[in-house]
Structures are given as structure tokens and as C-alpha cells.
Amino acid sequence: MSAPWAAISVPLQPEALDDVTMTLHGLVGNAFAVESRPDDDAPWPITARAYVAPGAGQKAARRGVLRALHMLRLAGGGVVGEASETFVGADDYLTSWRAAHAPLRVGRRLVVVPPWLDPPADAAHRIPLVIEAGMAFGTGRHPTTQLALEALETCVARGDRVADVGAGSGILAIAAAKLGAARVTAFEQDPQARPTAEANLRANGAADRVTLVIPSRQRSCQNLRRSWLPTSWPTCTCG
């Protein structure tokens, strides 16, 4: 029998979702799920659940997650509940984690689909974005990502040049390419994102239109200024 994963759950109010998901992403990558209850009268309408892999570092990682959630609870003013912990087998982890990543319709024209599923039949008119986030940010489920995707629907025209600064999984760059952009330059500073982003570009047939750049932080701004941005745009600076 394989070693169990730790499943750490925390109930929360919608206004705490951004802080909790960003915190969990920083600690466990995308090994977390968010469940919402349709009953608006539920005392805790959302539950976030982080999964910590078995191994020598599991105990320290569990303590780190529990400590971070405790701090968010203390600072949250009642919008973050008390975390609880259980242990699940590898099969249960995979099933529950994947269940939280069903196809997601965004805006009027897009649908985000994990690579282990086919696009839903009732979304055949939408543009599929096949995304495996891995350890990179960008599953399509964070509100900021959804807002950016909806904005791309309205502002990308065929033949445009687009820059995605902080590309993560590549989801926004891929969406821009599929919406008609002729050239997309995707900048990312985290080298761990490269394998995931490259795999997503191939899965979506966008590798020929999206250039992935992962330089140092200072070089990323310099390259963005020199190689892509029009000279009339303000200089890119790094603080």
C-alpha cells in the first residue's frame, strides 16, 4: 500500500478565496482543490483543501500549511475557519484533485479543459484551452485568470501582437493565440514553469505562435522593452 497524502481542509468565506488560494499555491503548487456549496445559507460556502505528498518532507510541509492557514485565520476577521487534517491514499488524492478540475466555461467563447478529459459536448462552439497547470500558476480557476481571459476575448484581434508577462502555465498566451493573435511573447521568471508551459503550448498547437522566454528578472524587462514593446510605450522598470 502506498504512503498516504495529507489532506488539509479549511472552510472560508468568498472574500478570503484569493488570499487562501495564493497561499496554498505557494506552499503546495496546484495540489489543492476548492469546493463551493450551492446553498447560499451555508455558514462556510467554500472549502479549500491542500494535499501534501508523502515522503521525508511531508511533516515539515504539513506544519507549514497549517501554520499559514492559522495565520490567515487570525488575520481574517472571521472569514477563514479552523483547518482540519486527514490522510488519504494516492488513488483518493488523484480522484478528488481531478474532480475539482472539471471543464470550466469562461466568458462567451472559451472553455478550459484538463488534458485527461474531452471538451464537453455542449461547449463545442467554444475554443478549448487544454491546460495542465503542474507546478505553475494558471489552472483557469482563479478569479484573476478568468477576468484576464474574458478581457482577451474582447481586445485581441486577428494579427495582433501580445505579451503575457508572468505566463505561468501559459494559459493566457495560449488563449491569445487561439483568439487570433499572430505573435505572442510569454515571459516567466520561474524556471519550474517551463516544462508545464511548453507541454501546454504543444497540446494546444500554439508553439509556432507563442515564444516562451524565461530569463533573469532584469533581463526579462530589458528584453520586453527592446524586442517587443513599441518605442512609444513607457520604459519597463523592475523594482
Per DSSP, the residues of 184-200 read EEEE-S-TTHHHHHHHH
The number of helices, as runs of H, and strands, as runs of E, in the chain is 7, 10
Q: How confident is the model at residue 180 (pLDDT cuts 50, 70, 90)?
A: very high
Q: Report pLDDT for 85.
A: 94
Average pLDDT, the chain: 83
| Highest mean pLDDT of the ranges 46-55, 150-159, 189-198 | 150-159
pLDDT tens, residue by residue, 80-111: 999 999 998 877 766 666 666 678 899 999 99
Identity of the residue numbered 182: A
Write out the three cell numbers for 158: 486577428
| pLDDT exceeds cutoff 60 at 232 | no
Distances (CA, A) of 68 to 79, 167, 186, 205, 209: 15, 26, 31, 39, 40
Contact, 130 vs 115, CB < 8 A? yes
Cell 508523502 belongs to which residue? Answer: 54
Query: Taking the CA of residue 184 as centre, how many other CA atoms within 13 Å lie in the half-sphere pointing to its CB?
Result: 29
Cβ burial, residue 146 (10 Å; 0-12/13-18/19+):
middle
Q: Report pLDDT for 36.
A: 73
Which residues lie closer than 8 Å to 99 by C-beta, 6 or more apart? 33
How many other C-beta atoms lie within 10 A of the C-beta of residue 228?
A: 18
pTM given for the model: 0.64
Q: Report pLDDT for 102.
A: 76
Q: How confident is the model at residue 218 (pLDDT cuts 50, 70, 90)?
A: very low
Domains within the chain, CATH numbers bracketed: 5-99 (3.30.70.120), 121-227 (3.40.50.150)
Which residues lie closer than 8 Å to 152 by C-beta, 6 or more apart? 172, 175, 176, 179
| pLDDT exceeds cutoff 50 at 220 | no
Higher-confidence position of 99 and 187? 187
Q: How confident is the model at residue 206 (pLDDT cuts 50, 70, 90)?
A: very high
What is the pairing mode between strands 46-52 and 32-36? antiparallel
Residue 33, strand partner residues: 49
pLDDT tens, residue by residue, 135-173: 556 777 777 888 999 999 999 999 999 999 988 889 999
